[in-house]
Amino acid sequence: MQNKGLSCLVVGFLFVTVACNPISPENGNLAVEPAVTIPASGVEQLPTATNLPKPTPAPPPKPTPEPTSFLLNNWESIGDETYGMQMAIPADWADMSGEIQLDTTALKSPVGLISLLATNNPRTGAALLADKDIQVGAFAAGLVTNFEAKADVPVTNLSALIRHLGAENQVVSEIMPVESGSMMGAYVDVLGNPVLFPDGNGQNLVTRVYLFSQKVGEESEENLQPLFVFSTPLPDWERYLPLFIQMADSIRVFDLNREVTLSEGRLLVAGELEPGVSVNGRLDFGVKDVWTFTISDPVYTTITLNPAAENLDMTLSLFDPTGQTLSRIDNGFAGDIETATDLFLNQAGVYVVEVSDFFGEGGSYELTLSQSETPQFSGGGYIELGQSIQSEVQPKSGQYWTFTGAAGTLVSIVLAPDVNFDAVLTLFGPDDVQLAGLDEGYSGDAEVLSGFELPVTGEYTIWVGSFGVNGGAFTLSLDEGGEDTANFYDAGDLSYGESKQETLQAYEAHTWFFEGKAGDEVILEVEPQDPALDLDIWLLDQELNRLAAQDELLQGEPESLRMVLSSDGQYILLIRDFNGIPGNYVVRLSAVPMATPEGRGMMQYGQTVTGVLDMKHTVVYYFEGQQNETIQVELLPISLESDFALTILGPNGRSRYQIDETATGHPETFITVLDEDGMWGIVISEFFDEGGDYALTLSRQ
């Protein structure tokens, strides 16, 4: 059984523990528009642009009646009303729309989020989603954008969009008008793909860009437009252009809204954030809100998320312009304010802020973005009861966080440091007298002051420092009360294939610890031995991020979790009874481990080895390394079809570096300084799991 207030109680235990019509399937024919050719003036922009079509005059296509079917023989459709758009693709193409994630590095368009994505085959799709250069193949994408377009002037709108993207020098054709149903539009051909790759990637591509806008009298209040792109490498442009034209003719647009569908669920594109301005949002049930902001120069940024309802357990995530996750904050109780302070953003571009609720609940919230040229919280600041703050202590320093409390109030303070930060927590009273000091654990261990009664009314200070000279990131949570964090029990360690029995005391939570590796698919099961027990379970990583929670069944019934681990490290399983009653249970941990690399022996400096990597396999070579040695590893594919990757293992067997920077058929090279003595490992894998011949060279600089 689930309960809206569950997170408030369980998180307390957590902190202590870690001390139009749709396309029809009929056959039909599509009218093929004349190919828009590229003027000679554009061809001169690239030495190889002679591969592009010869310029010939082409009048604008005239509107034609809509055919009864928009599918060519054996073509399929992607998208529908829920996406706001639809398009036909060849039967041998792959619909990758369901694979899009908010943090997909290749898909961080500055003008909107992608709803539809199709590629000529899954291999192209996998490379595109991994932000790899596309050497062969083709792809098409559909976006919903709120670019300021005006009705009935499609050519002007597209010209303005190209200027907005800074791609005027990439244009290699005239802008031509088109019409699709109730939508008027225009298209243009450009070098590269400035819509999807604003950072300049994909320079080997040629792209046709379509922007549609509504007719006068049919404008929506939100001023949303559909935007489509069709791309292929320059040598393949003439071959794919007729196909792109057919696909574009099949485009159908429905009622657009700000919601898009990604693999992680429904997202609402809520709007733009401005520094110093608070915005009010409302989550719909099962939907995540997405806000964006843009920077041009490095800046320190603070983001605060304040839920309006106490049952909301909100998560705040920040993604940089390349799609990398910079911060994910969900450290407080339900109803708590989540704040990330002084995040140093040094990459120009569009940043994405995602707001969600852990249980998918709906409700209102306030979101505030603050920016400055210098850190505003380097020495600390003010923290409220019911607030969780993410910050960072610099080496040889500390931070003072103050709050106001009334005499007799019970407070709980949880300091959760980064895995390499050995944090110290000290509480001072209004008279600056020390009331409590905690340094109970090692690096990464939480410090918890639970149910502390404030002796007088006044302003209290929490000092966060380091046991040594090193600083580190941390999360500080302050809440009123103490019962929720009082009873816990370290139940011990679990290994794959192991089953153990334990007894819960009244209002007690149990924590189990296990080691996992990236790629392991784990299955966690808890079975009550007493029919009155209603167990719920949580899975957390070593940085205290909640990965999953389960409480679907009734009293006396077992609960289970199944997921693939994303990284190496320690994981935490939290078990409690929903009603706090005592009883016995059995916990089981099983897994389908990641395939172990095949050992290929030892290597010496200056040695080159050749080998064959089988499909869906990995291999590992070992070498003896000394601290402070500078090494170079080069992996050369023998076949132009192979896309190899390197993983460097430390002496403890865990992944230290992962290298996959180049495109198919190109070598991977990595240089680093070893930070300890021991036997290091070099793991070879292939991005598409297709294997291939290789040559590996290890040298000392």
Task: Give residue-wise pLDDT tens across range 504-524.
Answer: 877 778 889 898 887 788 899
| Res 598 pLDDT > 60 | yes
Model confidence at 106, pLDDT cuts 50, 70, 90, reads very low
More confident residue, 459 or 65: 459
The residue-averaged pLDDT of 435-440 equals: 84
pLDDT value of residue 183 = 73
Q: How much is the mean pLDDT over the chain?
A: 80
For the record, the structure tokens of 48 come out as: 């190889």
pLDDT value of residue 314 = 86
Report which of 397, 355, 354, 353 is spatially closest to residue 375, judged by C-alpha positions: 397
d(CA 274, CA 371): 9
Report which of 585, 579, 538 is spatially closest to residue 557, judged by C-alpha positions: 585
| Res 570 pLDDT > 80 | yes
Model confidence at 13, pLDDT cuts 50, 70, 90, reads very low
| Res 592 pLDDT > 50 | yes
pLDDT value of residue 658 = 85
Query: Which strands make up the sheet holding 607-613, listed edge to edge?
Result: 607-613, 692-700, 630-637, 668-673
| Res 500 pLDDT > 80 | yes
> In one letter, which amino acid is 294?
T
Mean pLDDT is lowest, of 236-250, 324-338, 505-519, for 324-338
The residues that bridge with 303 in the sheet, in sequence order, are 340, 369
The residue-averaged pLDDT of 140-146 equals: 85
CATH code of the domain made up of 598-700: 2.60.120.380
Please spell the DSSP secondary structure of 46-88, one letter per residue: STTGGGSPPP---PPPPP-PPPS----TT-EEEEETTTTEEEE
pLDDT value of residue 108 = 64
pLDDT value of residue 17 = 37
pLDDT value of residue 264 = 52
pTM of the model: 0.60
**Any idea which fold 498-507+516-592 has?**
Jelly Rolls (2.60.120)
d(CA 545, CA 484): 19
| Res 15 pLDDT > 70 | no
| Res 453 pLDDT > 50 | yes
Please spell the DSSP secondary structure of 468-535, one letter per residue: SS--EEEEEEEEE-SGGGT-EEEEEE--TTEEEEEEEPTT-EEEEEEEE-TT-EEEEEEEESSTT--E
Residues in the chain, overall count = 701
pLDDT value of residue 442 = 63
d(CA 18, CA 39): 65
Query: Which residue in this structure is represented by tokens 């590095």?
Result: 105
pLDDT value of residue 543 = 67
More confident residue, 10 or 73: 73
pLDDT value of residue 255 = 72
Could you tell me what percent of the chain has a pLDDT over 90? Answer: 35
Class for the domain spanning 267-485: mainly beta
Cβ count near 98 (within 10 Å)? 10
Model confidence at 631, pLDDT cuts 50, 70, 90, reads very high
pLDDT value of residue 244 = 96
Are 542 and 444 spatial neighbours (Cβ–Cβ below 8 Å)? yes
Give the residue extent of every domain in the chain.
40-253, 267-485, 498-507+516-592, 598-700
Model confidence at 101, pLDDT cuts 50, 70, 90, reads low
| Res 58 pLDDT > 50 | no
d(CA 414, CA 390): 12
CA–CA distances in Å: residue 40 to residues 171, 227, 265, 503, 634: 12, 27, 46, 80, 42
pLDDT value of residue 395 = 86
Check residue 234 and report its DSSP letter. G
> In one letter, which amino acid is 20?
C
| Res 37 pLDDT > 50 | no
Domains 267-485 and 598-700 share a fold: yes
pLDDT value of residue 118 = 94
Mean pLDDT is lowest, of 99-113, 390-404, 456-470, for 99-113
Query: Which residue in this structure is represented by tokens 């059995």?
Result: 586
Class for the domain spanning 40-253: alpha beta
Check residue 375 and report its DSSP letter. -
pLDDT value of residue 1 = 39
pLDDT value of residue 620 = 93
pLDDT value of residue 669 = 96
| Res 150 pLDDT > 90 | no
The residue-averaged pLDDT of 453-466 equals: 94
pLDDT value of residue 4 = 35
Model confidence at 107, pLDDT cuts 50, 70, 90, reads low
Mean pLDDT is lowest, of 318-327, 419-428, 478-487, 517-526, for 478-487
pLDDT in tens, 261-289: 554 556 667 778 999 999 998 888 878 88
SS3 (DSSP) at 69: coil
More confident residue, 311 or 650: 650
